[in-house]
Structure 1
Amino acid sequence: MNDLTGVTIAFDLDGTLVDSAPDLIGTLNRMLAIEGFAPVPLSSARHLVGHGARALLRHGFAEAGATWDEAARPELFDHFIADYVAHIDHLTRPFEGVVETLDALSARGAILCVATNKRTDLSETLIGKLDLARHFAVVAGPDRVSARKPDGAHVIEAVQLAGGDPARAVMVGDASTDTGTARNAGIPCVVCSFGYGDVPPEQLGGDVTIDRFADLPAAVDALLLRR
């Protein structure tokens, strides 16, 4: 296999590395219950995940036929974060093949980092509880960089914080925020079809689409050959 020394791979978190929807939607539904609204089904709410906690609350409340007004009820956001932290790893697990694939990429010399719209502290807590922290040189939520996805600065700065070169980087994600980030940063993107994408994977505009995480090394190799 090709040496990946000097190549940085930046990963989205929710819907790419981990299946976190059950815990996030669980917290959303507990917030809805507090306000007297019915829960939203996990099967129809997975697409809400991946854009940050405020977006999840705003769109989740809308799907329940309610309105989330942070200005009127600022404490609800704090309740959401506290509840989520308490349940952050109850049902969340890495997708199949994630651990083995990250080990394989690291063994080939790749630098690995996380570029997520989830707050850095929450991301690091989750990654630590799932025993994934050893894989990543840096975890960069929007509060650790100058912009949030889909602004290309997010992934560029994450790669730089990891000690990598954006000119030799690949983005891996599952949604339009990820492909948009990669496009804005001028780097190639691998789309994971098994995540929480808000549009069909083939319409996201990625460079390569994979159906299993184990297919990622071959996809990265193919992208590097094109370049």
Structure 2
Amino acid sequence: MTDRDLEGWTIVFDLDGTLVDSAPDLTGTLNRLLVEEGLPPVPMEAASTLIGSGARALLVHGFEAAGASVERAQSDELFERFLVDYTAHIADGSQPFEGVVETLERLSERGAILVVATNKRSDLSELLLEKLGLTRHFAAIVGPDRVSARKPAGAHLKEAVVKGGGDPERAIMVGDAAPDAEAARDAGMPCILTTFGYTPVPVETLGGDVLIDAFEEVEEAIDGVLSDFYVMRALKF
């Protein structure tokens, strides 16, 4: 019988670059739009560092990388075309990172509440997770449209935890980029960062409490964070 030692704790996951390698489909949509606009496509290895702040930011970064007008990238018409194309191709090449399903199952068995806090729009996040068979693991899937402020604001994480039925005072963030680390700091949550995600700056500079090189290391990292938490609490008495 599994020890439910994570009862009362919420683990908050970023989506793109943390749970799911979604770069192939995000980049595919970006590049189809660039080509339609008469611009050169962005190489996959370059595009993966542009992901993390939502579709509008991805368009701006992509058009900048192609040497095109930022004003054009910010147009509502282009954004709507992006959404239509991405929705049609959202899970063509995207896949959960290795070890995601097994790790989520173990965390749930140990009593943890699992939620997603992402800067991807909620309906798109739900569609992606549903197509990948991951929806069942999460008590809440929370994009910026369902909270008062988006990452890097800590309110995004706190409100996501509450929507999942958890306590923000007993929550841990797992992400891959600056918005995740900054939101965790703002929310007063410990932060575990992946080294395999999407960040334009070295992940080592983001101030995460723990860095992991593979998703299979999430559980051990959580155990380490909780060990420190209980030691510090004991020292206060």
- The bucket for the TM-score relative to the shorter chain is over 0.9
- Whether contact under 8 Å (2:147, 2:156) holds in the other structure is yes
Instruction: Give the match for residue 13 of structure 2.
Output: 11
Match of 2:116 among 105, 110, 114: 114
Which amino acid in the other structure matches residue 10 of structure 1? V
> Aligned residues: percent identity?
62
CA distance in 2, matches of 1:91, 1:25: 10
Alignment of 1:45-84 (within 5 A): 45-69=47-71, 73-84=75-86
CA distance in 2, matches of 1:155, 1:70: 32
Cα deviation digits, residues 169-194 of structure 1 (max 9, x gap): 00000001100000000000000111
Instruction: Give the match for residue 197 of structure 2.
Output: 195
CA distance in 1, matches of 2:86, 2:74: 21
Alignment of 1:1-227 (within 5 A): 3-69=5-71, 73-227=75-229
Please report the TM-score for the alignment, with normalisation by the length of structure 1.
Answer: 0.97
- The alignment's C-alpha RMSD in Å is 1.2
Alignment partner of 1:47: what SS? coil
Shift of 1:71: 8.8
CA distance in 1, matches of 2:197, 2:219: 18
Which amino acid in the other structure matches residue 107 of structure 1? E
- Whether contact under 8 Å (2:59, 2:74) holds in the other structure is no
Alignment partner of 1:16: what SS? coil
Which amino acid in the other structure matches residue 29 of structure 2? T
Alignment partner of 2:25: what SS? helix
Change (3 A) 1:36 1:165: same
- Whether contact under 8 Å (2:60, 2:74) holds in the other structure is no
Which amino acid in the other structure matches residue 212 of structure 2? I
Cα deviation digits, residues 161-218 of structure 1 (max 9, x gap): 0000011000000001100000000000000111112221211100001111111111
Which amino acid in the other structure matches residue 131 of structure 1? G
CA distance in 2, matches of 1:206, 1:93: 25
Change (3 A) 1:200 1:2: farther
CA distance in 2, matches of 1:132, 1:88: 14
Which amino acid in the other structure matches residue 196 of structure 2? F
Which amino acid in the other structure matches residue 135 of structure 1? H
Shift of 1:119: 0.2
Which amino acid in the other structure matches residue 181 of structure 1? A
Which amino acid in the other structure matches residue 190 of structure 1? I
- Alignment size in residue pairs: 227
Please report the TM-score for the alignment, with normalisation by the length of structure 2.
Answer: 0.93
Tell me, which stretches of 5 or more residues in structure 1 are unaligned? none
